[in-house]
Structures are given as C-alpha cells and as structure tokens.
C-alpha cells in the first residue's frame, strides 16, 4: 500500500511543453529530440521531467498516448513550432505518492490513487502528473523515482 499525501502543491516556472500522440516505442525518441532542441537553444534544465497522459488508444498492436511532456528551464525563450512555453506550471490541492520502479507499474499506482479518491469522496480535476525525480533514469537503466500528483477539487461535494 502506498503512502498518499494530501494538500500537495508543485510549481515550476519557465516550462517547455510538448503535447502529441506518441507511440510507446517512440517516447524516448520524442524526449531525446525535445532535449536536443533545448540544448540547441542554449538553455539549462531547471527541474524534473513531468509527463501526463490524457488518453490511450490501441493502434494495431501498439498503444498510442495523447500526452504532454513538460521540462522546466532556466529562462524564457521563443520555441519552434510544436512546442509551447508556459511561464508557470502550478498544481495545487493535489494528492500525491512516490513510486520507485518500472513505469509499467504506474497503472497500479493510478488504481490506488483512484481508490483513495473514491473512498474519500474526492473529485479529481486534473489527469495524473508524473514527476520524474531522477529523470536521467530513462537513459541509463536506473529504476525511476516518480512522484505522481492528481489535482483535487477543493470544494466539498
């Protein structure tokens, strides 16, 4: 059973966003391209990689994710087409938990968070945001440390 925290908040300034439909097999390539774009613009990463998935569909034998990838950087910049600059990414009144392991196991984490939301009669107002605490794990084979956040409606239902 995961420890689930309430009334959590995350905030990052100067965030680069990419949203698109990404096949599971293409994720690392999309992320690598995004990092190369930022390196080419002489900016530094200023926080953890953040992802969220809005929808999943099956195309043939592969899953396609409608997802957003967010990377905090050190300054405001003009971005090439396909990327969006967000001055602030701020998630408030969230529940969160920490997961260490293969991202394939995240579905179990989501299920536990959904169960917590249901048991406590809460109303989610965002998708789950995955904050990769050791985001270099994608490229060097370490087990990722992922904090998962879901924004909750502060009004009582």
pLDDT score for 81: 94
Residue pLDDT, tens place only, 24-35: 889 889 999 999
What is the dihedral sign for C-alpha 103, 132, 67, 129? positive
pTM of the model: 0.91
Q: pLDDT confidence of 102, banded at 50, 70, 90?
A: confident
Nearest Cα residue to 135 out of 46, 3, 9: 46
> In the predicted model, what is the mean pLDDT of residues 105-129?
96
Residue pLDDT, tens place only, 59-81: 888 889 999 999 999 999 999 99
Contacts of residue 113, defined as CB under 8 A and 6 or more positions apart, other chains included, come to 2, 4, 95, 97, 128, 148, 150
Homologous superfamily (CATH) of 5-152 is Regulatory factor, effector binding domain (3.20.80.10)
């Amino acid at each position: 059973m995961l420890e689930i925290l309430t009334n959590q908040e995350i905030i990052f300034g100067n965030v680069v966003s990419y949203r698109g439909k990404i096949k599971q097999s293409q994720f690392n390539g999309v992320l690598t391209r995004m990092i190369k774009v930022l390196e080419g613009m002489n900016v530094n990463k200023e926080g953890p990689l953040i992802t969220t998935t809005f929808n999943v569909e099956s195309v043939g034998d592969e899953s396609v994710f409608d997802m957003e990838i967010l990377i905090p950087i050190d300054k405001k910049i003009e971005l090439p087409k396909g990327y969006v600059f967000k001055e602030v990414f701020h998630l408030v009144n969230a529940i969160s938990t920490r997961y260490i392991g293969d991202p394939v196991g995240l579905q179990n984490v989501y299920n536990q968070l959904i169960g917590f939301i249901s048991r406590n009669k809460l109303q989610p107002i965002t998708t789950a945001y995955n904050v990769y605490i050791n985001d270099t794990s994608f490229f060097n084979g370490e087990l990722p440390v992922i904090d998962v956040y879901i924004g909750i409606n502060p009004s009582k239902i």
